[in-house]
Structure formats: structure tokens, C-alpha cells
């Protein structure tokens, strides 16, 4: 059985940083495309950062470009989302996704069989 577990969310002041982790079990994350999706209060879930298994040419949404980065530790079967320069509009539930998701310069698209974590809450507020 596959599980993705996110952690690292919390309350942070504007301008601060957080690093989210997504630990996988039941799959080898290094073999899959991964992405981070965000659902802000009252808004639809959006893909903010997606990358291939080789971390080639990742997609960044305009809202996070230049502030967020993704990295992998294949030994720990973990993907990280480093978030710097956080803004109140970054508030939301952040989800890790792995599987056959695809992306281009215009966004990320998930597949029905992709694996999702349960989400972790990020709140940016003073």
C-alpha cells in the first residue's frame, strides 16, 4: 500500500521560510514525477511546482517562482518543498503528489491513479 505523508507545515510570519517534507512508503519516489499542490481557503487546488523523476526543468507557478524550490533525497524516499519569502497568500493546505502527473510551461496535470498525501497546513500571518 502506498502512503505519502507531508510534514513541516505551521504558522510563519510573512517573509519567513518553511520546508515541507513528503515521505513515501510503498513506492520509490525517485522513479516518479512529483508535484506540490496547494489549496487556499475558498479556492481550487492548484499545482504550484511539479518535476520529473530526474528533476528536469521543473514547472513553477507564477505565484511561487523565485521563492519555492523542490529537492529530493532518494535515500530517504523523500521530496522537499523549500518555501522562502512567504506571503499571506501562500496560506493553504499543501499536498504532495506522485505518479504519472505531467506538466508544461502552463501547469501541472494529475492522473487518476496518482498518489496523494493527506496535506499539511501552512499559515502565513503576522
Nearest-angstrom CA–CA distance, 120 and 27: 20
Nearest-angstrom CA–CA distance, 13 and 59: 26
51-78, pLDDT tens digit by residue?
Answer: 998 877 899 999 999 999 999 999 999 9
User: What's the pLDDT at 50?
Assistant: 95
9-36, pLDDT tens digit by residue?
Answer: 999 999 999 999 999 999 999 999 999 9
User: What's the pLDDT at 54?
Assistant: 82
**Lowest-confidence segment of 64-68, 93-97, 103-107 by average pLDDT:** 103-107
The rounded percent of the chain whose pLDDT value lies above 90 is 93
Nearest-angstrom CA–CA distance, 13 and 55: 30
User: What's the pLDDT at 59?
Assistant: 94
Nearest-angstrom CA–CA distance, 111 and 64: 23
Amino acid at each position: 500500500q502506498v502512503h505519502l505523508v507531508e510534514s513541516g507545515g505551521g504558522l510563519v510570519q510573512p517573509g519567513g521560510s518553511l520546508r515541507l517534507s513528503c515521505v513515501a512508503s510503498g513506492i520509490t519516489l525517485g522513479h516518479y514525477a512529483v508535484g506540490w499542490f496547494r489549496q487556499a481557503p475558498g479556492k481550487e487546488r492548484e499545482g504550484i511546482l511539479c518535476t520529473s523523476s530526474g528533476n528536469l526543468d521543473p514547472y513553477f507557478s507564477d505565484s511561487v517562482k523565485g521563492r519555492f524550490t523542490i529537492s529530493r533525497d532518494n535515500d530517504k524516499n523523500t521530496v522537499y518543498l523549500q518555501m522562502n519569502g512567504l506571503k499571506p497568500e501562500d496560506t493553504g493546505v499543501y499536498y504532495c503528489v506522485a505518479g504519472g502527473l505531467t506538466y508544461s510551461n502552463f501547469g501541472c496535470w494529475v492522473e487518476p491513479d496518482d498518489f496523494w498525501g493527506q496535506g499539511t497546513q501552512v499559515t502565513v500571518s503576522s
